[in-house]
Chains A and B, each alone.
Chain A
Amino acid sequence: MTQDQDVALSVKNLKTFFYTNKRCNKAVNGVSFDIKKGKTLCIVGESGCGKSVTASTIMQLLPTLSRIEEGEITYHSENGDIRIDQLERNGEKMRSIRGSEIAMIFQDPMTALNPVYTIGFQISESLKYHTDLTRTQYKTRAIELLRDMGISLPESRVDDYPHSYSGGMRQRAMIAMAMSCSPKILIADEPTTALDVTIQAQIFELMDTLKKEHGTAIMLITHDMGVVAELADEVAVMYMGNIVEAGTVDEVLRNPTHPYTRALLASIPVLGKGKHQDITAIPGSTPDPYDRPNGCQFADRCAYRIDACDVMPEETQIGRTHRVMCWRHEEVGANAAE
């Protein structure tokens, strides 16, 4: 693959395994993708598919009982490439990237902020370690950031504690914290799952503005296909530790080529299609991560299953940007086009 000029971070054949309870869970089992400058990559999948683990792996924020087994995570910084997977977990080099080059926001703004410190203090912590600002400038900058994020009365709000913020405001404060050092990449791990739709709309609008104004590359993790359709430039669909299908949002949503993607899209009601829309449930449930099928992880629930599916399908490039992991992708794709 030729390296695009505008790729901010590339992940190749990444495997992250968890070792809790003396078992080995292959949470992320060989995923590859690029995050491009000024674009949004959505990683979509159900709970337990490994999407959040992928995000934590990039930030090296994994729990103790887990490790990167294989693969490369390369951050293309202005001063050359950095292999994140080879850095020490909480070493100096990794810390200098976290927060300043790559920032992250989390799913639940209620628990992601430390309850005993003011919002201003928590924002200034980032500034302290990644900028040359002086102590007095921290507060001005924090107020500025909060104002940018659309928090009213930032001058007084900056000295408030998280519990006096509403959920939406906390997520804004989280974004302010993440954006404080103008990172090149923003990883958002289900940033609106805990929020209401009207607040979700506010947060997405804010993220869209940031992407346009700062050229930030965004990796957005979500389980909601609607969010993908509205925000993504590119999509990667994950199932049980693999990216089963990836491509631009047009390719994946208009012409889904993996049976899982197709089934997923067919199983969700779409607003505005009325009461008589056709909905097909996916049979069965996701397999036990400790008792996975040998081959294709989706095989047991798949309408297209054949004997070949007992072997893990290879990743096939079916367009310049569109790739899929399925033995029968041609037939699936043909059906979709009908």
Chain B
Amino acid sequence: MSMTNTTGRKTSRLDRQFDLIRRREEAGQLTNPRGYRFARKFLSNRLAAIGLLIFTIIVLVSVLAPLLTPYDPRAIDLRNILKPPTWAHWFGTDKVGRDLLTRVLYGGQISILVGLGSALASAVVGVLIGCYTGYVGGWRDALAMRVSEIFMSFPQIILVLLLVAILGQSLSNLIIIFILTGWGGIYRLARARMLSLREEEYVQALRSFGLSTPIICYKHILPNALGPIMVNITLSTAAFILAEAGLSFLGLGVPLDIPTWGNILNVAQDLRILENNWWVWLPVGIVISLFVLSVNFIGDGLRDATDPTQQG
């Protein structure tokens, strides 16, 4: 079937796409898509699908670490110090002969826990406060806003280090600190969404029935704000994983005896290791980057899938 292009302009890549769509449309092959529009759009985004795959793989191998490797992440083996990758030790061994692959896998458990856990927990805090104060407005809103402004005017790493200096170094402290520094962003997002959603007519309809504020704002309005909130959770997961890695790299994050991705990288501050023993820091650096990249891909995919203005 030949397409008549009477306009006489040269055909472009876009034109060829259009021709294909039109041909299929006229042949009746295209029907209104069924099923979840959201899932379809998300998975048709190639990067998001790749991201989801990488994310799943890394999470799975970390969680299943005890089944996948025969080594103990803390077992010191002084006969095998700083060995390059071999069949026995795929990622080689570190300064005290611990198997690096094992440490990367077990480290993933902690790093992902810190990243995902802090992101979810700070999202819960931020959303609970943001939804309510954004909906009711008035002095509660003003107060929450001021408090978040104070938290957010500290650069995150400064506040984290400040709290580390005061509270001391431990895994739970780190998560608490991340929640304290992380709730502000998602609070603002939730509040901003509320400010526009509370003007929607269905909200006024609910108010005209005299329904209670928590039911209106958490049950009825919140689901409509979930899209951007989900995107924000993925982005803050990425940010927290980077922050954990950075802090542990400096030796100020998770205590050094617990393996985390950042703690493994800590030794790379030593220039001799940096120059001579690439396997100690390069693989784990790549794993962190890949994981954060996959989370960011997922976040972008979520944003496109939840944004109704996106076409394509």
- Whether B9 lies near A22 (C-beta < 8 A) is no
Give, as a whole number of angstroms, the nearest-CB distance from B244 to chain A.
40
Judge if A336 is at the interface, Cβ distance under 8 Å: no
- Whether B9 lies near A24 (C-beta < 8 A) is no
The residue from A23, A70, A71 contacting B25, defined by CB atoms under 8 A apart: A23
A85: chain B residues at CB < 8 Å are: 6-7
Please count how many residues in chain A sit with their CB below 8 Å of the partner chain's CB atoms: 21
Given contacts A17-B18, A64-B14, A65-B311, contact A24 B30 (CB under 8 A): yes
Secondary structure at the A interface, as helix, strand, loop or mixed, is mixed
Judge if B138 is at the interface, Cβ distance under 8 Å: no
Give, as a whole number of angstroms, the nearest-CB distance from A214 to chain B.
31
- Whether A19 lies near B32 (C-beta < 8 A) is no
- Whether A88 lies near B9 (C-beta < 8 A) is yes
Residue-wise interface mask of A (48-75) relative to B, using a CB-CB cutoff of 8 A (1 in contact, 0 not) = 0000000000000000110111111000
Judge if A291 is at the interface, Cβ distance under 8 Å: yes
A78 to B30, CA, bound (A): 46
Residue-wise interface mask of A (275-316) relative to B, using a CB-CB cutoff of 8 A (1 in contact, 0 not) = 000000000000010110000000000000000000000000
A67 to B4, CA, bound (A): 13
* B: interface residue count bin: 10 to 19
- Whether B311 lies near A21 (C-beta < 8 A) is yes
A69: chain B residues at CB < 8 Å are: 5-7, 22
Residue-wise interface mask of B (1-44) relative to A, using a CB-CB cutoff of 8 A (1 in contact, 0 not) = 00011111100001101100110011000101000000000000
A64 to B7, CA, bound (A): 16
The residue from A19, A21, A70 contacting B6, defined by CB atoms under 8 A apart: A70
Judge if B210 is at the interface, Cβ distance under 8 Å: no
Judge if A267 is at the interface, Cβ distance under 8 Å: no
Judge if A90 is at the interface, Cβ distance under 8 Å: no
Given contacts A20-B311, A23-B25, A24-B25, contact A67 B15 (CB under 8 A): yes
A69 to B5, CA, bound (A): 6
Give, as a whole number of angstroms, the nearest-CB distance from A115 to chain B.
19
Interface set of B (CB-CB < 8 Å, partner A): 4-9, 14-15, 17-18, 21-22, 25-26, 30, 32, 311-312
Closest 5 CB pairs of A and B: A24-B25, A20-B311, A24-B22, A24-B21, A19-B18
Given contacts A65-B311, A65-B312, A69-B6, 15 further A-B contacts (CB under 8 A): A19-B17, A20-B311, A23-B30, A24-B22, A24-B26, A67-B7, A67-B14, A70-B6, A71-B6, A72-B6, A85-B6, A86-B8, A88-B9, A288-B32, A290-B30
